[in-house]
């Protein structure tokens, strides 16, 4: 289980703030991201006005409002991954790392926002902070080979978790314990500790 601020160990251990960055339409009650936040009651989540018809400036402003400091890991899913990448480029010291799940390919015909500013986000240059891309072999929004190519361009780590679709509520992952373990390991590798809080 992820540790909340109340249950994390005391002492000098570094605690990592978590900000949830969902994709289009937010994440529903059965989505692993929502369930993780139940284990991290002080964690934060973006709340743009344009959930269903995303506007990049609105989403960027929403993320600006909730990042508590540079010990933060942005836990992003789907379109939220593109937002986290763009935000990190504008705020190179604003977060400790990006945990990117089911990063879509904005150049693919399957991308629902072709022609939008989201489709023009730079995925070819290295990020200013550590990042890990978690992919699925059968994600309808990003071919597995393309996912690895994007991660390489970003200078990010990459791994596939098998055939999990878009790694969303439909994937029926529950609290996705394996993903929680990956997040802890990533936070430790990013130098901000494994004790997760909001």
Classify domain 15-193 by CATH number.
3.40.50.1820
Beta strands, E only, 147-192: 157-160
Collapsed DSSP state (helix, strand, coil) of residue 5 = coil
Q: Across all residues in the chain, what is the average pLDDT? A: 89
pLDDT, tens digit (0-9, with 9 covering 90-100), for 39-87 = 888 899 999 999 999 999 999 999 999 998 888 999 999 999 999 999 9
Instruction: Give the predicted TM-score (pTM) of the model.
Output: 0.90
- Nearest Cα neighbor of 134 from 174, 71, 182 is 182
Which H or E run includes 19? strand 15-21
Better-predicted residue by pLDDT, 12 or 103: 103
Q: What is the pLDDT of residue 192?
A: 66
Write the CA distances from 17 to 65, 83, 90, 156, 162, integer angstroms. Answer: 14, 18, 20, 20, 28
pLDDT in tens, 138-147: 999 999 999 9
- Say yes or no to pLDDT of 174 above 50: yes
pLDDT tens-digit readout, 108-142: 999 999 999 999 999 999 999 999 999 999 999 99
């Amino acid at each position: 289980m992820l540790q909340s601020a109340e249950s994390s160990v005391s002492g000098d251990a570094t605690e990592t703030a978590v900000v949830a960055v969902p994709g289009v339409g937010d994440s529903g009650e059965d989505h692993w991201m929502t369930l993780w936040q139940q284990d991290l009651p002080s964690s934060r989540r973006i709340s743009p006005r344009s959930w269903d018809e995303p506007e990049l400036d609105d989403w960027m402003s929403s993320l600006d409002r909730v990042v508590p400091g540079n010990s933060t890991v942005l836990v992003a899913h789907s379109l939220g991954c593109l937002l986290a990448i763009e935000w990190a480029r504008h705020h190179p010291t604003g977060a400790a790392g990006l945990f990117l799940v089911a990063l879509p390919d904005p150049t693919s015909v399957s991308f629902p926002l072709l022609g939008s500013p989201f489709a023009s986000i730079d995925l070819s240059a290295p990020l200013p902070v550590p990042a890990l891309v978690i992919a699925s072999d059968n994600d309808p929004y990003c071919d597995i080979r393309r996912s690895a190519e994007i991660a390489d361009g970003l200078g990010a780590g990459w791994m596939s978790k098998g055939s999990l679709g878009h790694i969303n509520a439909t994937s029926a992952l529950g609290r996705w314990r394996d993903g929680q373990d990956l997040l802890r390991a990533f936070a430790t590798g990013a130098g901000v500790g494994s004790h997760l809080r909001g």
